[in-house]
Amino acid sequence: MDELLKHSDFVVLTCAYSPEMKELINKETLSKMKRNAVLINTSRGALINQDDLYAALSSGQIRAAGLDVTMPEPLPPDNPLFSLSNCVILPHIGSATERARTEMLHIAEDGILGVLDGPKLPQHLRVV
């Protein structure tokens, strides 16, 4: 990951969250990113230490950030990230496209029908 951070213009978080992934992006990892790098998070807010992100954005350590998820959600209106012109924060609406919502509907539909038709769930569903 260090090499990716060192050479990437864009770092996009699309990974699942687990306790081991908490604050994957922090002071240490942000310091390895290029000064012109843009960080985008569409996964889970807990993947980023937001205090460290604020410091990196404020100091110019990285160029910008785009957050569709935060910790907590929604962020309090007085959160300092809102004061930064190089940080765009969306209210967790990254999946609010017609295509994404239609696909979500089909996945839910397949799951419901799979349960009603018998004990076997569709293959793309996984019970954890």
* Active site residue ranges: 92
How far apart, in whole angstroms, are the C-alpha atoms of residue 48 and residue 102? 29
Tell me 16's DSSP state.
P
Please check whether residue 16 is in contact with residue 42, taking contact to mean a CB–CB distance below 8 angstroms. Answer: no
Specify the long-range contacts of residues 120-123, CB closer than 8 Å, at least 24 apart.
Answer: none
